[in-house]
Amino acid sequence: MSKTSELKEVRNHNGKHPLLTSPRIEARKFQQDISEACVNKNSLVVLPTGLGKTIIGAIVAAKTLEIHPDRSKIIMLAPTRPLIDQHCKSFLKFLKIPEYKFRILTGKVSPEDRAKLFKTHQIIFFTPQTLRNDLVNRRYSLHSTCLIIFDEAHHASGDYPYTLIADEYIDQNPDGNILALTASPGASKKKISELCANLHIPLENIHIRTRKDIDVKTYLKPMEVSKIGVNLTELMEYCYLVVKRLIVKRLLYLSQSGFLQKSPDFSHIMRKDLLKLNKRLVEIIKELTGDKIRLYSAISINAQALILYHMIELIEQQGLDILLIYLEKIYKKARKQSSSKAVKVLTKEGHLYEMYMELKRNASISPHSLIHPKYKVLEQLIIQEISKIPKAKILVFVKLRDSVKNIVDKLSTKEVIRPVRFVGQSKKSENDKGLSQKKQIEILDLFKQGAYNVLVSTNVGEEGLDIAECDLVILYDIVASEIRLIQRKGRTARHREGKVIILYCKNTNDERYLKIALAKLKKMNANLKNPNSLRSYKKIQKNNHMNKSPQADIIQLSESFRTQQKKAHNTLQPFLSSKKPPPKDILLDVSLSMDLGIRNMLIKKGISFNTGHSFAHMILFNIIAIQIYNAKELLHDSDKVLTKLIASTKKSCQILFIMVNFINFKENYEGEERLLKRKLHEWNDLSNEKVKLITIDRIDELYYFIYNIYKHNKK
């Protein structure tokens, strides 16, 4: 379901939450169950596209605001500007909060203005790069932010800004919460564990639903998934063999040099293996002193192999016409002085040049011989669908922009097909200009209205964008990523039956990639459904790390550094529901500052509590009140402030503890802290036995006093 489509599905919300617009929130039980479990807990929600992750985000946001100080903020992050625009519109409709409190902040807003706007708005939508840059430059803090929602959370890996933002947030705000939303967190235990570690989410706080789960089944329409394989043509097989021989020649060199494991045909080596090898070689060169000629030769040979692997993928997935375009670029680049050694060496290969000339000859006398057999199947499928459903909307996913243009040009010659190209913003060349976000939104609107009936898209159409409900999704080429497979399939079967057709080339890496992606998809659901196996995996990894030799530790450092450096983040237990909560030993006032981490501390100690409005920050057993002051608040008129507090709590509790926080106290003049403490202690000596004043210099002292007051009075 697209973000806009969610609005059409919503009905009413039985919880009647004061911050939720009742007519617009549907009381789907699985959404309520997941939302309740995520309040005051760092959580990961994994739902198939179309099941309302945005609604869950809105419900969690409303309930989180209710239990934190009045001016607390909510931040929502999403990878693209169109996506955060959609989220902003959705939250405006779901939340009963004035529109002037909402704001979108991207790189289009100047840094100075962002700093001002952040302070004056409550619900803020960011692109991750923008928020990361502002945090790095200390333009504002996250102390007053009670919740950050990470949409498309599977991006939280490597150097993507989500990871830094989560780290900074946890450091700045111990009581702040994180909600991560995705349809596809990754297949392996390692990926899922690292995602949770990067976003400080305990593994037991993963909430997952699949299309087969009973409580969501009724909200999804049937999805028919089928695969159609085609064979290589005779000309494609010729090109395939030429390139394959050139690859094996280079893999043999790398193997004999000790960089690759020996193999009779290297059939197990894939492009990703060479990418990893390149990274390793670069790292070794940086560390090594002395003769590096052998390493530089290996890097060049490896670069040649990567170029050849790309040619293999073009033959298998895109067609010889796209291969010819690529070869023309290669030979043109080789004539430039700035060209790499790898390109220059490859273009001197006689067999490659003969293949290039053969393709050029066929392009002039028989251009149809260069077209991939998949294209003919694609064309037939589209025409068949339109003949069955005249107003059908069809989405075709293609890996490369050259192929997108090629396919759109060919489909445009058919009268019943009205195709449109949908790509990212970057400009590849004069003949391949990107689409601005404004143009992207315009194309999607025309697609919804029926001006176009076929959207041919690169991966820019995979995530979150408000693409109209599609009757048919065709995956023109294969990606081995289960994440991308899920995103692509999720564009159909939301409000009506949908079909997904996967095209592939038989007996090639194309077919191998398809099997890998489908296997990963099954593995992902199995791992997510069994958090115990994830915890076991994490424990094994920890033990392996402890038993490794120093040399092995250096090798693994680059891959696992971030995961190993994560601090353990304890599970928080939910303490709020739409029903009236049962009475607890402790009531926390919503105004209690988040940066003290008291909510988190109580949960760690296993102490349950309610949250609401009270005359003091904490009420224990309805008889003990605790008020926490920042020492700066008492610099002037401390007698007046404390006397007023005692008067207001006199009839409401049997004993009052006043805790004065000196943790981050900065003196205006030497000795100021000592003089204030003396004054407070003198005041404490004169006060009655029902009032106790305690000065706090460290956060663990605050936790110690609160816990012991609770423990001593617990019956």
CATH architecture for residues 586-713: 3-Layer(aba) Sandwich (3.40)
Residue 538, pLDDT above cutoff 70: no
Q: What's the average model confidence in pLDDT over 114-142?
A: 94
Residue 483's pLDDT is 63
* Residue 496: strand pairing partners: none
The predicted structure's pLDDT at residue 519: 81
Q: Cβ of 518: how many Cβ atoms within 10 Å?
A: 15
Q: In Å, how far from its chain's centre is CA 659?
A: 40
Kindly report the length of the chain.
715
pLDDT at 493: 46
Element (H, E) at 675: helix 672-686
Indicate the pairing of strand 394-397 with strand 586-589. Answer: unpaired
**pLDDT given for residue 27 in this prediction:** 61
Of 44-48, 92-96, 261-265, 306-310, least confident by mean pLDDT is 261-265
Band the pLDDT of 114: cuts 50, 70, 90: very high
* Cα gap 483→404, rounded to integer Å: 21
Q: Could you say which DSSP state residue 312 is in?
A: H
CATH number assigned to the domain covering 371-507 = 3.40.50.300
pLDDT of residue 529: 64
Burial of 69 (0-12, 13-18, 19+ CB in 10 A): middle
Question: Could you give phi then psi for residue 642, rounded to 5 degrees?
Answer: -70, -40
Q: What pLDDT digit, counting tens, does each position of 309-357 carry?
A: 999 999 998 999 999 999 999 999 999 888 899 999 999 999 999 999 9
What integer best gives the mean pLDDT of the chain?
A: 82
Contact 661, 632 (CB under 8 A): no
**Tens of pLDDT, residues 249-303:** 999 988 888 888 766 567 778 888 888 888 888 888 887 777 788 888 899 999 9
For range 441-464, the mean pLDDT: 84
Res 533 pLDDT > 80: no
Structural domain spans, the chain: 3-217, 234-368, 371-507, 586-713
Provide the pLDDT for residue 129: 94
- With a cut of 50, say whether residue 233 has pLDDT above it: yes
Task: Tabulate helix, strand, coil % of the chain (nearest 5).
Answer: 50, 15, 35
**Amino acid 43: pLDDT:** 94
Maximum average pLDDT range among 179-183, 288-292, 460-464: 179-183
CATH code: domain 3-217 is 3.40.50.300
More confident residue, 609 or 115: 115
**Domains 3-217 and 371-507 fall in the same CATH topology:** yes
Closest CA to 693 of 634, 652, 609, 606: 634
Which CATH number applies to 234-368: 3.40.50.720, 3.20.20.70, 1.10.3720.10, 1.20.1320.20?
A: 1.20.1320.20
Give 348-351 contacts, CB < 8 A, sequence gap 24+: 349/246, 351/242, 351/245, 351/246
The number of CA neighbours under 13 Å toward the Cβ of 451 is 8
- Statement: residue 382 has pLDDT above 90: yes
Region 98-111 average pLDDT: 94
What is the pLDDT at residue 647? 82
- 242 versus 650: the higher-pLDDT residue is 242
